[in-house]
Amino acid sequence: MSSTTGGAGAVYDRGYRPYEGPRGGRRAATLALYRASIRRALGLRRSWRQKVAPFVLLGIVTIPAIVNVGIAYVTRDRIGNPIEFITYREYVGVSSTLLVFVALTAPDIICPDRRQRVLPLLFARPLTGADYVMAKVGAIFSVLFAFSFLPQVVLFVGQTLVSDSAIDYVRDNAEVLWKVPLAVVVLAGFYAVVGVAIASLASRRIVAGAGFIGLFLVSSITSAILTSDPESVDRTGSLGALVNVLALPIYLRDLIFLGHVDPESPLTGVAGGGLLAVTAYLVVAAVAAAVLLYRYRWTER
């Protein structure tokens, strides 16, 4: 049997060594995915174009607080008490900027994973579907909470500094120190779980974003139609107000700050309106969470 001598081969010693660092389990993998999702939502470690939208939106939601403090500072020597054209209660959910942020970021951290087929790679780690959902929803929630809470801090600190007595202002407004964080948690948690759930149903970001905005827009219009009564002179409440998905966290915000439904709310006059609002809020959030767990159930196998 003849053999042919080929070209001489070369062996290179690359010095490959096994990983000897710490090895984390599910908790470490979930935390890593959570951190990566926050960085992606904020555009960190990405091009400057990806950083424009989140930080511009943060500036927009902070403008009312800055303006309020500025007016209070200018008029504090002319009027007895500083002017407040926006209250802490109104500031929670007053801007649609947060909706735009969720419509942009929730699809951005969810859709590429499915479209680019990287989910099998992610779940090669000690991750379950519930861990994945927790990391993604937690990331959006954390950013939303920061974007909603920071303007409130600016407003509170600014009003304290421009008031005649900082101690008196803090004492008179001490209740907002727990009401604001609780209301922001209610708002951010709702937007986060609903936004990520809708994003999980699409593989393209523009479709997911349009679906999120469309849900709130259509539900608001439908609720307005159901609650309007052209033949009624007196303002009466209607159960149709519960159809408005956008308003559900606002109803709970009013319950936190006022202890009851806002007199200007479409739920005014409805027996047990506050309890119904809480129930509707929980139902929508539960449905969104169930959709997420269903979408990623196969990863448990």
Q: How far apart are CA 189 and CA 182, in angstroms?
A: 11
Q: Structural domain boundaries of the chain? A: 26-228+235-300
Q: How far apart are CA 208 and CA 109, in angstroms?
A: 11
- For 38, the token pair is 């926050």
**pLDDT for the residue numbered 49:** 75
Could you tell me which of 159, 147, 24 has the C-alpha nearest to residue 87? 159
Using CB atoms within 10 Å of the CB of residue 222, give its burial: 0 to 12 exposed, 13 to 18 middle, 19+ buried. middle
**Residue 298: per-residue pLDDT:** 66
**How many angstroms separate the CA atoms of 104 and 115, rounded?**
17
Cβ(147)–Cβ(59) below 8 Å = no
71: Cβ–Cβ under 8 A, 6 or more apart, which residues? 83, 85
Q: Per residue of the chain (301 residues), what is the pLDDT tens digit? A: 444 555 566 666 666 677 677 777 788 888 989 999 999 888 887 777 777 878 888 888 888 888 888 887 777 766 555 566 778 888 887 667 888 889 889 998 998 888 888 888 877 777 888 889 999 999 999 999 998 899 899 989 988 888 878 888 899 889 999 999 999 999 999 999 999 999 999 888 899 999 999 999 999 899 888 887 644 444 566 888 889 998 899 999 999 999 888 888 888 888 888 899 999 999 999 999 999 989 887 654 4
Going by C-beta distance under 8 Å and a sequence separation of 6 or more, which residues neighbour residue 147? 57, 58, 61, 98, 101
Q: Whole-prediction pTM value? A: 0.84
What 8-state DSSP symbol labels residue 247?
G
Residue showing tokens 């159960």:
239
Provide the pLDDT for residue 139. Answer: 94
pLDDT at position 78, please? 63
pLDDT of residue 229: 60
